[in-house]
Chain A
């Protein structure tokens, strides 16, 4: 990453007096000194792991013996022979698209509703925020209990109402929607951010729009949305990054619903049911920590990194057209 020190082309071709040169050098040293905590962190926590990951992705490494160079063998294994990769990639992308958009829409919707509430606003805010505070493992286990197809209260209620009762976490076509429901339940963080943004929209703009005869939809389209679009963008970008790392809820739901808790001779297989909850971070875990094939785990991590980068840069490229009055 290049760091601008201020000199650059401004002085190109002209002789720079010695005094000025040393002044610039001092300024550069000062800048570096101020930057150093970040630079050290960046080097240690980003550059070093990235370079190591690249290196290990072309080696056979089990964590104990010395890594040996194997070329693209790990890459070929992940793409051609690792049985879960493509399904896990599809699941992860499904979650990124569906979960992130629903979370943003739902979070914004709840935020808007709550800003409109006149009485008991605090109560409603608390009500929607509280689930966010539940630890992910506990929340997932509670959902697995509520959505248990055989004994869960949700399906009993659906049954009493004469509605079809899905298998939820035990049915491959319902497991991801069930995880999405869990994510929507914990919408508190986004709701608070959207609420703050909505309350920041200048009132006079609404008044002007109303004078011009704008209806509720037009007020949202031409006043609310342009004002909060940077926050929407923030929610989408962080949502994509978070969802690319989706791990805990998927693995806990799979483990609880499958009933396999690792007794004698039992192998716990993530992705239950039928691979429908496999995500890329679980594969990093499976390959790296269960199979001790760190090389292939590093391949998946790099793929994850590349996809995250691609998503974020596409979103940020679209930003200039999307965020009307950023500057």
Chain B
């Protein structure tokens, strides 16, 4: 009896365990495959399409909703249901799962994911649609932006405004520290960061710059934009271990971490920062006097009105490359059409309007202070460009500005490099060459695995 009971109990528990563990997989291992489809929007029939985007701040959602309203006015039979504050993880899942509530049009802030979107066909190829409407992509969009919206010739997305990274600095703090101009080289930058740092016991009253990699936009790829490295060689393999610029960047960052008080002290201070996309951002509150950030910050600062004067400049460059000053990391928002969408004709009308209608692009760029993504819009006289915003337009036009390349597995290679950065800044990894070699191997294995 005893043996029977325990065997039965064991079976029951085995069944419960298995079901619970695998319930997750029951959904993971299914997928839909239907794609394409047309609607009757061209013949004037009412169509409602769903548009997912990531904008969440009031000024941003107002701007995109204004744009959508203008589109609906021009296309009275197409109605757009916009859903904001959507992160890529959610988009990815919805696009694969399909269903009635899945989006027809999707925008994403993560250009790193374009490689995945294109190679796995979750987004429809827009080349035939561009051709049908006689739009020459190369003549419409700047080359760098066109590059991060396609993967191996599959134009599965289009640029919808660009993002460019530069330096923000607190003019009041600069004046108090006796600094007259924004730093151009890394040695000037380190001096300024040290001068702007005011200690307060174990912490800081004000920190010159937060170099730690979790310090919001202080990320490996944003810093690497100042060095212009190659991420992959012509053979498709990771070149981070062979391109000396990557080691140079990691060493520079670690030097700055040590100079400003060391990793632990900075981490403790970083923990006191408010949300990045809120008025509690450490640059707004005066907790840091300089920050690397995107052009959208100009709009947030204008809205939040911190109690100091601020200004922008290109982020500094390595001393040996002072001639390239003015460069920066560039990325942007991308927009595409779900391959599964049954309303692709209406979806294309929206995408075409948002990405190529000059008035739409300019007014949206003005409203959320992003860099316009078409030649016509970039040169439009209607573009608001005060001195602080113009900094970013100039960085976008700088031939040395760069981006991160699309990869078949999206941003996995950036995560790998970031993890090495975390280990190196904290002192967990001290042998940089070995760390870079191991990380390159890890990236190659992941790319190979994704093929």
Residues of A within 8 A of B (CB): 1, 42, 45-46, 48-50, 52-53, 56, 61-65, 73-74, 77, 80-83, 148-151, 167, 170, 237, 241, 244-245, 257-269, 272-275, 281, 284, 288-294, 296-298, 301, 304-305, 308-309, 312-313, 316, 319-320, 326-327
Contact = CB atoms under 8 A, between A and B. Distances in A.
Residue with the greatest number of chain A CB neighbours at <10 A, chosen from B269, B331, B419: B419
A64 B109 contact: no
A151 B285 CA distance: 15
A62 B110 contact: no
A299 to B, nearest CB: 11
A63 B28 CA distance: 8
A263 B13 contact: no
A268 B213 CA distance: 12
14 contacts: A64-B31, A64-B96, A65-B120, A83-B416, A148-B271, A148-B272, A257-B271, A259-B273, A262-B109, A264-B333, A272-B214, A292-B120, A297-B25, A320-B2
A284 B28 contact: yes
B410 to A, nearest CB: 7
A289 B14 CA distance: 26
Nearest to A242: B20
Contacts of A56: 29
Interface in B10-25: 10-11, 13-25
B258 to A, nearest CB: 18
A64 B120 contact: yes
A53 B415 contact: no
Contacts of A80: 445
Contact of B446 (A81, A262, A301, A326): A81
B399 interface: no
User: Which 3 A-B pairs have CB atoms at the shortest separation, nearest pair first?
Assistant: A150-B272, A81-B445, A150-B271
Interface stretch (B72-80, B310-318, B420-428): B420-428
B15 A42 contact: yes
B47 interface: no
Contacts of B277: 261, 263
Contacts of A77: 445, 449
A316 B13 contact: yes
Contact of A63 (B10, B31, B110, B329): B31
B120 A327 contact: no
A265 B423 CA distance: 20
B14 A309 contact: yes
Given A49-B29, A275-B419, A301 B214 contact: no
Given A45-B19, A167-B267, A262 B88 contact: yes
Given A260-B214, A267-B418, 15 more contacts: A61-B29, A62-B120, A63-B120, A81-B442, A150-B269, A167-B267, A241-B13, A245-B20, A263-B294, A264-B294, A266-B219, A267-B414, A269-B419, A273-B422, A327-B5
Given A284-B28, A292-B92, A263 B23 contact: no
Nearest to A263: B276
A122 B184 CA distance: 67
Contacts of A264: 109-110, 163, 294, 296, 331-333
B180 interface: no
Contacts of B269: 150
A267 B112 contact: yes
A235 B370 CA distance: 55
B116 interface: yes
A76 B18 CA distance: 23
A242 to B, nearest CB: 9
A83 B450 CA distance: 15
A268 B109 CA distance: 13
B23 A49 contact: yes
Contacts of B323: none
B179 interface: no
Nearest to A280: B21
A149 to B, nearest CB: 5
B122 interface: yes
A50 to B, nearest CB: 6
B33 A64 contact: yes
B181 to A, nearest CB: 28
Given A259-B214, A265-B109, A267-B414, A49 B270 contact: no
Interface in B67-100: 87-89, 92-93, 96
A77 B269 CA distance: 38
B14 to A, nearest CB: 6
Nearest to A285: B24
Residue with the greatest number of chain A CB neighbours at <10 A, chosen from B33, B331, B422: B422
Given A241-B16, A244-B21, A309-B14, A259 B29 contact: no
A304 B219 contact: no
B121 interface: yes
A45 B24 CA distance: 11
